[in-house]
């Protein structure tokens, strides 16, 4: 927990308590289901919480900014972002119901407001009127190539908003391969921010893709296709 205060010293007492409570919650649930890698639970704050909060170094959020966290898994980056920026309105989307059940307990135990965990696939939710092109930001730490992630994420973002992908430090080749897919989906790569993961020797990147125009209605394609046959 001290490592969070090292980089975010102005957290309120409530925020500090919420961050401190994460370790016990994740340790308890990780013994039941695989929320995060069991080998990595001791590095919860360094590898997951701080990495999630790294976006604060490149992006400023206005009050009531809407965020879709796609493929949230154990709630990263959405849960740490919600604690650090309580004014955000966040939707956590994951395809595994047991993870969503866990996230609902985290939300309840921490007393978080304006954050919803939903069970479903991006291919389905991105077609729904209440979600399509309704978010200021879509963020994702999901492990997939950028072309695939763009097809999942860009349809959720409103025109003028951004899709932000958390990536490893070596991104140049993947970025080049995704360039046309991003354009097809109505986006444009606005920035690539490379940085060392705080208190580690690992390199990470943020790819910021701005939504320039509406995404064609046929995207995302039916389940499985974005991963099996990425746009080129």
d(CA 181, CA 10): 40
**How far is it, in rounded angstroms, from Cα 76 to Cα 49?**
7
In CATH terms, the fold of domain 2-228 is Rossmann fold (3.40.50)
pLDDT recorded at residue 4:
93
Domain layout of the chain by residue ranges: 2-228
Q: How confident is the model at residue 198 (pLDDT cuts 50, 70, 90)?
A: low
In the chain, which residue ranges form alpha helices assigned H by DSSP?
Answer: 2-7, 13-30, 50-53, 78-84, 97-110, 122-125, 146-153, 172-184, 225-228
Residue whose entry in the numeric block shows the structure tokens 């690539």 = 192
pLDDT given for residue 31 in this prediction:
87
DSSP character at residue 205:
E
Lowest mean pLDDT of 155-164, 165-174, 183-192, 213-222, name the range.
165-174
List pLDDT tens digits, range 120-158.
999 999 999 999 999 999 999 987 999 999 999 999 999
pLDDT digits (tens, 9 = 90+) for 24-58: 999 999 988 888 888 889 999 988 999 899 888 77
Average per-residue pLDDT in the chain? 93
User: For residue 60, is pLDDT > 90?
Assistant: no
For residues 198 and 221, give the distance between their C-alpha atoms in angstroms, rounded to a whole number.
Answer: 37
* Cβ–Cβ under 8 Å, residues 92 and 72: yes
Q: What's the pLDDT score for residue 56?
A: 83
Q: Please report which confidence band the pLDDT of residue 170 belongs to, taking 50, 70 and 90 as the band edges.
A: confident
Q: How confident is the model at residue 217 (pLDDT cuts 50, 70, 90)?
A: very high
In the block, residue with structure tokens 């993961």: 197
Rounded Cα gap, residues 227 and 161, in angstroms: 24
The pLDDT confidence band at residue 219, using thresholds 50, 70 and 90, is very high
Distance of CA 123 to the CA centre of its chain: 16
Is the pLDDT reported for residue 202 higher than 80?
no
Residue 141: per-residue pLDDT: 92
């Amino acid at each position: 927990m001290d490592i969070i205060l090292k980089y975010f010293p102005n957290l309120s007492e409530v925020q500090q308590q919420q961050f401190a409570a994460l370790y016990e919650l994740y340790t308890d649930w990780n013994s039941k289901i695989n929320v995060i890698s069991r080998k990595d639970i001791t590095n919860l704050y360094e590898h997951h919480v701080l990495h999630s909060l790294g976006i604060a170094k490149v992006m400023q959020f206005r009050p009531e900014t809407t965020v879709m966290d796609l493929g949230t898994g154990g709630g990263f980056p959405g849960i740490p972002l919600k604690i650090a920026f309580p004014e955000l309105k966040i939707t956590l989307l994951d395809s595994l119901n047991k993870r969503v059940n866990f996230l609902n307990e985290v939300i309840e135990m921490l007393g978080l407001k304006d954050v919803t965990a939903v069970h479903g696939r991006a291919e389905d939710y991105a077609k729904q009127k209440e979600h399509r092109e309704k978010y200021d930001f879509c963020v994702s730490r999901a492990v997939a190539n950028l072309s695939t992630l763009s097809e999942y994420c860009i349809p959720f973002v409103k025109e003028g908003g951004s899709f932000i992908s958390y990536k490893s430090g070596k991104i140049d080749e993947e970025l080049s391969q995704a360039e046309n897919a991003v354009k097809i989906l109505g986006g444009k790569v606005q920035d690539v921010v490379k940085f060392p993961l705080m208190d580690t020797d690992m390199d990470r990147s943020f790819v910021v893709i701005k939504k320039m125009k509406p995404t064609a209605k046929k995207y995302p394609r039916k389940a499985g296709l974005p991963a099996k046959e990425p746009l080129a």
